[in-house]
């Protein structure tokens, strides 16, 4: 029998379309504050069609956790190769430039943070310490296969690093509002409003404040109610209206 990479808790997170949607929502907000979000604009794919760009990225991440153990290192190297090719093309055009290890860590941090927060929101419970550590270790294993240096060794170390990101690294920059405008153009007005309302409650309050996200009392009630009445047929109908992705 083929042994898949990763743990049961990791596949529970990445095998749930709703949880992936929440990872998308949190990451979309945080990318706007990422100090190296200029890479998202280099190919032009994200600002012109952010939904498809994030969908492609999350498909790759999802695939990792349902891949046989023995084939994962090659897939991780392939992902790093794709990024290296982008670095090469941009360096030829603009001079030597690299995606920093800190930027990779910040992106992996989104997968860790919003994977955990999404699971806890949808299941109305806190993940126990062992589940958090196990999920972190699965993400860390992929980062190491990609050759990312200085990745925190434990979940406790990661939490300290994450705090530094929130406090000082994730700030508004020259492309923050351009990226938010790209989301607005790609979504229907009600979908964009719903995305902002959800992000205002889902991401760290400090980050929500930097993005000037404001909460609405009525949406707050819906935010509280939804995970307590999760109804798959309703989700199947609403999901394509809110975020018209093809494969989730």
What token pair was written down for 57?
Answer: 């990225």
Q: Are 1 and 223 in contact (CB under 8 A)?
A: no
Residue 247: pLDDT band by 50, 70, 90 thresholds? Answer: very low
Q: Is residue 43 part of a domain?
A: yes
Mean local confidence (pLDDT), 16-25: 87
Give pLDDT, residue 214. Answer: 93
Q: Is residue 42 part of a domain?
A: yes
The predicted-structure confidence for 91-133, as pLDDT tens digits, reads as follows 999 999 999 999 999 999 999 999 999 999 999 999 999 999 9
Q: Is residue 36 part of a domain?
A: yes
Q: Is residue 228 part of a domain?
A: no
The predicted-structure confidence for 54-102, as pLDDT tens digits, reads as follows 667 767 777 888 889 999 999 999 989 999 999 999 999 999 999 999 9
* Total domain count, the chain: 1
**7-11, 85-89, 170-174, 219-223, range with the lowest pLDDT:** 219-223
**Alpha-carbon span 213 to 239, nearest angstrom:** 22
Q: Is residue 58 part of a domain?
A: yes
What token pair was written down for 8?
Answer: 């049961």
Q: Is residue 205 part of a domain?
A: no
Q: Is residue 63 part of a domain?
A: yes
pTM assigned to the model:
0.91
Residue span of the structural domain in which 128 resides: 8-186
**Alpha-carbon span 123 to 239, nearest angstrom:** 18
**Alpha-carbon span 147 to 127, nearest angstrom:** 28
């Amino acid at each position: 029998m083929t042994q898949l990479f990763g743990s049961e808790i990791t596949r529970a997170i990445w095998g749930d379309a709703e949880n992936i949607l929440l990872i998308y929502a949190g990451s979309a907000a945080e990318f706007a504050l990422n100090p190296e979000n200029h890479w998202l604009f280099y190919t032009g794919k994200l600002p012109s069609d952010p939904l498809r760009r994030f969908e492609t990225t999350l498909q790759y991440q999802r695939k990792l956790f349902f891949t046989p153990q023995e084939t994962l290192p090659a897939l991780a190297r392939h992902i790093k190769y794709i990024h290296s090719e982008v670095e090469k093309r941009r360096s030829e055009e603009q001079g030597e430039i690299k995606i920093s290890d800190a930027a990779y860590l910040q992106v992996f941090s989104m997968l860790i943070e919003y994977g955990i927060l999404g699971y806890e929101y949808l299941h109305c419970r806190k993940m126990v310490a062992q589940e958090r550590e196990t999920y972190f270790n699965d993400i860390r294993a992929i980062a190491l296969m990609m050759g990312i240096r200085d990745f925190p060794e434990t979940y406790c170390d990661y939490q300290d690093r994450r705090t530094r990101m929130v406090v000082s690294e994730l700030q508004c920059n020259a492309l923050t509002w351009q990226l938010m405008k790209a989301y607005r153009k790609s979504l229907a007005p009600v979908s964009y409003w719903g995305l902002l309302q959800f992000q205002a409650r889902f991401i760290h309050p400090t980050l929500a404040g930097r993005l000037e996200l404001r909460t609405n009392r009525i949406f707050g009630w819906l935010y509280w109610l939804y995970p307590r009445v999760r109804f798959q047929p309703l989700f199947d109908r609403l999901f394509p209206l809110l975020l018209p992705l093809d494969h989730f």
